[in-house]
Chain A
Amino acid sequence: MRPLAPIGLFALLALPLPWLTGSGTVLNLATMVLMLATLGQAWNLLGGMAGQFSFGHAAFFGTGAYATAILQIRLGLDAWTGFATAVLAAVAMGALVGFASFRFRLRGSYFALVTLAFAEVARILANSLEITGAGVGLLLPLAPGLDRLQFTDKAGYYWFALVLCTAGLLIAARIRDTRLGARLAAVRENEEAARALGVDAFAVKMQAIVWSAGLAGAVGAFYTQLFLYLDPHIAFGPQVSVEALLGPIVGGTGSIWGPLLGAAVLQLLGEATRALTGGVTGANLVAYGIVLVLIVRFFPDGMIGLGRPRALDARGVSG
């Protein structure tokens, strides 16, 4: 069992950033990195550790985002209750998607398509239902205060995101170092062989998707707090699902630091592209695409695997 010290060290080193920089841009960028790193970590719990590639993590992100917004706007509840409910709602959504897919042994591209379908159905529902504000979306009233989880300065959101990111790292490390992690890795590598050795593949995949969805829901709720505005495309759009998987794939799937590394690299790349092209819309997406192709082609282990001996040449061999 590997110690959790590196995670503690990371949190400790990241903590004083707001005091070290006076730049709002830097702090915004750091907050986005932490947020996307956590979303990527959520994806990683299912996609990286269990090998079940989701293309619809927006379904969980959006469920969390809308849950807290609706509770605060429609029911007047405080943001903490909203946050907790958001996580639970996303967990329920995860259980639903997981049951619908894993019960019927959907794997690979079939699983990816089912998750995408769930996210799209959620987007269409959010676009037409009154409770979600339909196409207009939902606007949270500006009301700074700890009970509303709204902060007057950027540092508050930065630390909020840091807590989420650290929680994501701890969850990932905990799963990796316990029986669940071993079983998920086995299912990822060869599901039939895992079942032959007594691994209940359905049960472990359900656990993975529930953790994954809950964490993604927490990121969604954070998004609501940060921008105080939601619409169906922001919450459930395919762009969210792509953001969720891009970071971990670039950084390194299955590794607990991969999503953070990937999110940092992609955000910095996005900023650089914006600066270089003078803010051409979509230029950052082109840069992401190029990086993704290069990574998948040359470093299938992600950036975290650079300089580490490759053990993948014979992956999937049989005989």
Chain B
Amino acid sequence: MLLEVEGLTVRFGGLTALADVALTVEPGEIAAVIGPNGAGKTTLFAAISGFLRPQAGRVRFAGQDVTGMPPERLCALGLVRTFQVTRPFAGLTVRENIAVAAHLRHRSRAAALALAGRVAERVHLADRLERPAAELTLAGRKRLELARALATEPRLLLLDEVLAGLNPAEIAEMEPVIRGLREDGITVLLIEHVMQAVMRLSDRVWVLVGGRIVASGPPAAVVRDPAVIEAYLGPGAAERLERERALAGGA
């Protein structure tokens, strides 16, 4: 098991954002966390990646207890995250942005800049390498988030909505990039709203609703799970759908 989360609980004052969350990610898989808005997905990522200290629970990464470890140390261990709201180093060029991350494992400036070029190639940013990051479009910034995370040469990559806000052509371009990570031995845990992409990309889906995991399994099974349908469409929705399906079948 590469990542093991158990009993994870995060409260903001009286609000419980995560309640006793448990999930696991196996090496080499692409796993996804889905759930309606406000379910606690980004909070879960923050707690796993060291940006938030959970009130209770454990996070184990590659067998080591990393609960409450600061993000920079987790990154050095090989666990890196991207931000849903992209955070480019606006005053630096795209290459310099990626090189910051590459410096984690490469002391030499030349080596870091060269690695930045190779990573940019991979996420289709090579033509913008020498441009200021502030000039990038939303799609470009999402790519830059991914590129920087990749340049840290991680074992586990947490992707927070890297496809959100992209048009279908841009999504189609990004999907193979994410799928291709597996060949490099990078395990992926992603949060995604673009359901078709989740269905196509992920091996396993965890459904987070109201701060709790309500279902998990292969994507095709999860989307038929009554608990999941109700979470998205409201109470009674699963039953109603079942009835409609039966009627349609009978007619």
Contact = CB atoms under 8 A, between A and B. Distances in A.
Interface in B29-80: 49, 51, 70-72, 75-76, 80
A153 interface: no
Contact of B100 (A194, A311, A316, A317): A194
Nearest to A314: B134
Interface in A196-222: 196-201
A185 B96 contact: yes
A256 B137 CA distance: 30
Contacts of B165: 319
A225 B89 CA distance: 42
Contact of A196 (B49, B96, B141): B49
Chain B, interface residues (CB within 8 Å), range = 35 or more
A97 to B, nearest CB: 22
A182 to B, nearest CB: 5
Nearest to A313: B134
Contacts of B104: 197-199
Interface in A164-193: 177-179, 182-183, 185-186, 188-190, 192-193
A198 B78 CA distance: 9
Given A192-B51, A193-B83, A195-B72, A311 B148 contact: no
Contacts of A319: 85-86, 138, 141, 165
B17 interface: no
B91 A1 contact: no
Contacts of B110: 1
B100 A186 contact: yes
Contacts of B107: 179
Contacts of A198: 72, 75-76, 80, 101, 104, 152
A311 B89 contact: no
A23 interface: no
Contacts of A201: 72
B91 A197 contact: no
A316 B110 CA distance: 27
A74 interface: no
- Best-buried of B89, B109, B165 by chain A (most CB within 10 Å): B89
Contacts of A314: 90, 134-135
B103 interface: yes
A315 interface: yes
Given A193-B83, A193-B87, A313-B134, A182 B148 contact: no
Contacts of B152: 197-198
Nearest to B107: A179
A217 to B, nearest CB: 28
B112 interface: yes
Nearest to B151: A197
A21 interface: no
Contact of B109 (A1, A197, A200): A1
Contacts of B81: 196
Contacts of B159: none
A185 B80 contact: no
A177 B113 CA distance: 11
A194 B92 CA distance: 13
B134 A315 contact: yes
A189 B92 contact: yes
A318 interface: yes
Nearest to A179: B103
A312 interface: yes
B91 A189 contact: yes
Contact of B148 (A183, A197, A312, A317): A197
A1 B111 CA distance: 11
Given A194-B100, A197-B101, A189 B71 contact: no
A190 B88 CA distance: 8
Given A182-B109, A186-B100, A315-B91, A197 B80 contact: yes
Interface of A: 1, 177-179, 182-183, 185-186, 188-190, 192-201, 254, 311-319
Interface of B: 49, 51, 70-72, 75-76, 80-83, 85-92, 96, 99-101, 103-104, 107-110, 112, 132, 134-135, 138, 141, 148-149, 151-152, 165
Given A196-B81, A314-B134, A319-B165, 5 more contacts: A185-B96, A196-B71, A198-B104, A199-B72, A317-B90
27 contacts: A178-B109, A179-B107, A182-B100, A183-B103, A185-B96, A186-B92, A189-B88, A189-B89, A189-B91, A190-B87, A190-B88, A190-B90, A192-B87, A194-B100, A196-B75, A198-B72, A198-B76, A198-B101, A198-B152, A200-B72, A201-B72, A311-B134, A315-B90, A315-B91, A315-B134, A318-B87, A319-B141
Closest CB pairs A-B (n = 4): A198-B75, A189-B89, A311-B132, A193-B87
